[in-house]
Structure 1
C-alpha cells in the first residue's frame, strides 16, 4: 500500500498531541514523524519517529543557515521517502513543531513527489481568542523558527487555523459557546472534528487491520488534499473569506465597496480599524495606487499591509493567460464595468464587535462624491500616505 502523508499542526500543543494520538490509534500502519525545533539553540534539530507502541528511531540534523525550519525542510522529504520504502507503513503523520506553518510544509512534501492526504490544525476553543490577541513576537516566547523570524503568536496562529480544511477540536471544559462560535466564524468552511484528551481507543483487531479507519478524524486524515486549491483559498485576490454572522456574542462584518479609499483618511484610521476586531483580513485599493491589489491582514492588534500583485483589470489581455484559472473565475464573478475586479472586501470577526461603528469608520475613509467625480488622474495626485508602510 503506498504511503500517504497527513500534516498535523497548531500552536495548541496539548490539542495537537491528542489529535496525533487519535490517528496512531485509529489508522493501522501509521507512524508519526516529528522535528523538534526547540533544540535549535544547540545547533541541531531533533527528529523522532514513533508508532502507537513508542519510539522507533531518533536522529539529529544540523541547522541550515542558522535556520531550524530550513533544516526541517531539507530533512523532511528524505525521511518520508525512507518511510515509504517500508511496506508496513500506511500513513505518515507529520506532527509539526508549535510555530511551523502547515502551508509551507504541505508544499515541500508535495514537491518531493509524495501525496498529502490531509492538513489538520488542532485547536483548543478556549485558547482561540487569547492566541489571536497575543501580539508577542515568537522570538520573545521561545517559538521562533529562525534567527530572522519576525512573526507574532497571533498572525502565526491565524494562518495555521485558516489554511487547514480540517480542525481537530479538543474537548475543553473552559470553552463556552462564545469560544466555539468564534472558531466557527473564523473558518466557517472547515470541517470541525471533536477529539478528546483521554486514552485513545485500543489497537485494531487483526480482522480490522485493512478496513476503514474507525474515527472521523482518521477518515479525514486519508480523505485527500489539494495543495494548489489550498494556496488559492489563501490568496487575497480570491480567498474564501468568512461570511456575515452574528451569534453567541460573536459577529462577523463583511464590508464590501467598489469606491477606493482616500489614502490619508484610511491611514489615519488604521489603529482604530486594527483594534476593532480580534481578526480582520481581505483586499482593498487606494485611490493613488489604482493598479495595486493590497492585502489586509490583522491579528493581535497588529496590521500587515502588503502588495499582492496587480488587479486583473490593470493587466493587458495577453497577460491573463498567465493568471491561474481560479483567480480569473473569482474576478469574473464580481466584475465591475468601470473598475473591473478592483474592490474593497474586508472581513472583521470578533466578540463584542461594534458593527455599525466599524462600518461608519470604513465608509468615512472612502473618497467623497466630489473626490470620486474628479477622476483617476486627480486621485493619483493625492498624498501617498502608505509609502512607509509599503516600503516604497
Structure 2
C-alpha cells in the first residue's frame, strides 16, 4: 500500500547525482532533546524541510505526520495505515513522503526526525530495500548522516534501565519485546555522529563522564557536545550537516569485528570512572564454564558486544550482545575455516581479508573478540573470569571431537542451515538473539 500523501506533480524527473538534496536522519530516545536539535537546524537554515511522525497511536494503525520548515508548519496530517507497525509506517508513508517532498520542494535539503522507539538501522534498511515508484529513495536524495541525540540529564539512567518498552507502554507493536536500554544502545551505535545535549544533573564532572562513556561506546562516531542553554545554531548546523559521514557499506555492530572494523577500544585505566576492555584470544570457551560465568560477566558492564566461539560448537560464530542487564546470544553463521573453499567468495570481501590477515594454522579464523564498557570495571578481574572459561592446555590437547561431547547448556541455541552453494550468502544466519 502506498502513502495516502498527495500525489507528486507531473514533473518527477530524477535529480542528477551531484544535485541530489541531502537527508540528515535524527534519532534519540528523548524527543525534547532531539527536537531541540531539529529546531536549531531549522533556525540555521529556514529552507530545511523537517519530517516527523508521531507513533502514539500506531498500534491502532494511525500515525500523525508533520512537515515544517523555518517559517512554520507546512503539513499536519493524520494517516491511516493498512497495518499498525513501524515497518509499515516507513514503507507506506515515511519513504513516499520523502520522495514527494523532493519533487514538490526541489533543491531543499531534508531532516527526518525519528520517533523515540525507532532504530536508525531500520530506516537505513528501508532506504535500500523498499522501493518507491520502482526505485530506492537514494536515487533521489543523498543520505548525508545519521545523528543520534543523547540527553545528558537522562542518558545514564536509560542505559542502566532494565525496563522494556511494553512496561512503559511505548512499544511499537504487540510483538515488540525490546528493552529500553537496547533501543538506546542501537540508536547510538548506528550513528556516525552523536550529540550530547545539555548537562547532567550531577554537574560538570558527570557530564564529562557521559562524554567519555559515549566515546568508548561508539568510538567510530564523531561526538558533538551542546550546552542546551546556549546554542550557536550555525555552528551546530556546520557540525551536523554536509559532513558525508554516513557510509552504508559499514557492517552492523555485531559483525563489525568479523570484518576487520573497530569494535571497541582498550582503555583499562579509568577516565572519570569509565573503563573499556577489549578481550581477544584464540582458544575456545568451555560451554559449561562460560554459562556458569555469565552472571559475573554482566554484573558491572553497561554495554558489552562482540563474538565468540564455543569448543562444543566449533563451526559457529556466536554473537554476544549485552545491554540493560540482559544478554543476547545468537548465531552469526559459520567461521570461514568451517566453509568449503568454494563458498569463501560468498562472504563479504572485508571479512575474507580480515580472516586472511589473522589466520592461524590451527584455529583458522576462530577467535574470541569481546568488548566490555562500564563504570569502575576491574579489567584484571574481568580477564581472569574470562580466562577461567577457556579450555585448558590439557583440554585443547584432547581435540575437536572430544570438545563436541562436552556438556553444553547452549546446545540447540545456535542452529546453522545446510550449506547451499547456490546461496549468495549461505552463512549469514544472524537472527533474533535469545
Cα distance in 1 for residues equivalent to 2:255 and 2:82: 29
Aligned partner of 2:334 in structure 1 is: 310
| Match among 284, 300, 303 for residue 276 of structure 1 | 300
Cα distance in 2 for residues equivalent to 1:391 and 1:292: 8
State how many pairs are aligned. 381
Identify the structure with bigger relative contact order (alpha carbons < 8 Å, sequence gap 6+).
1
Shift of 1:293: 0.4
Asked if the contact 1:128–1:183 (Cα under 8 Å) also holds between the matched residues in 2, the reply is: no
Aligned partner of 2:14 in structure 1 is: none
Asked if the contact 1:284–1:293 (Cα under 8 Å) also holds between the matched residues in 2, the reply is: yes
Cα distance in 1 for residues equivalent to 2:414 and 2:352: 26
Once superposed, what is the RMSD of the aligned Cα atoms? 2.1
Asked if the contact 2:300–2:375 (Cα under 8 Å) also holds between the matched residues in 1, the reply is: no
| Match among 214, 220, 223 for residue 243 of structure 2 | 223
Aligned partner of 1:194 in structure 2 is: 225
| Match among 123, 137, 150 for residue 113 of structure 1 | 137
- What do the CA deviations read for 1:39-87 (whole angstroms, capped 9, x no partner)? 2244301111111222110223334434244223321111011111134
Asked if the contact 1:61–1:71 (Cα under 8 Å) also holds between the matched residues in 2, the reply is: no
Q: Could you say what secondary structure the match of 2:181 adopts?
A: helix
Asked if the contact 2:254–2:307 (Cα under 8 Å) also holds between the matched residues in 1, the reply is: no
Shift of 1:391: 7.6
Cα distance in 2 for residues equivalent to 1:65 and 1:96: 19
Distance 1:388 1:302, change over 3 A: farther
Cα distance in 2 for residues equivalent to 1:388 and 1:376: 18
What TM-score do the two structures reach when normalised by structure 1? 0.91
The answer to whether 1:264 aligns with 2:288 is yes
Cα distance in 2 for residues equivalent to 1:376 and 1:173: 52
- What do the CA deviations read for 1:90-111 (whole angstroms, capped 9, x no partner)? 2111100001000110232244
Cα distance in 1 for residues equivalent to 2:333 and 2:92: 29
Shift of 1:196: 3.9
Written as runs of structure 1 = structure 2, the 5 A alignment for 1:12-27 is 12-27=30-45
- What do the CA deviations read for 1:158-213 (whole angstroms, capped 9, x no partner)? 111111010112121424332222111111221111234347668xxxxxxxxxxx
Decide which moves more: 135-144 or 107-116. Answer: 107-116
Aligned partner of 1:139 in structure 2 is: 166
Aligned partner of 1:184 in structure 2 is: 215
Aligned partner of 1:10 in structure 2 is: 28
Asked if the contact 1:21–1:200 (Cα under 8 Å) also holds between the matched residues in 2, the reply is: no
The answer to whether 1:80 aligns with 2:105 is no
Aligned partner of 1:244 in structure 2 is: 266
Decide which moves more: 244-253 or 371-380. Answer: 244-253
Aligned partner of 2:390 in structure 1 is: 366
Task: Specify every segment of 5 or more residues in structure 2 that has no aligned partner in the other structure, as ranges.
Answer: 1-18, 130-135, 417-434
Aligned partner of 1:123 in structure 2 is: 150
Distance 1:66 1:40, change over 3 A: closer
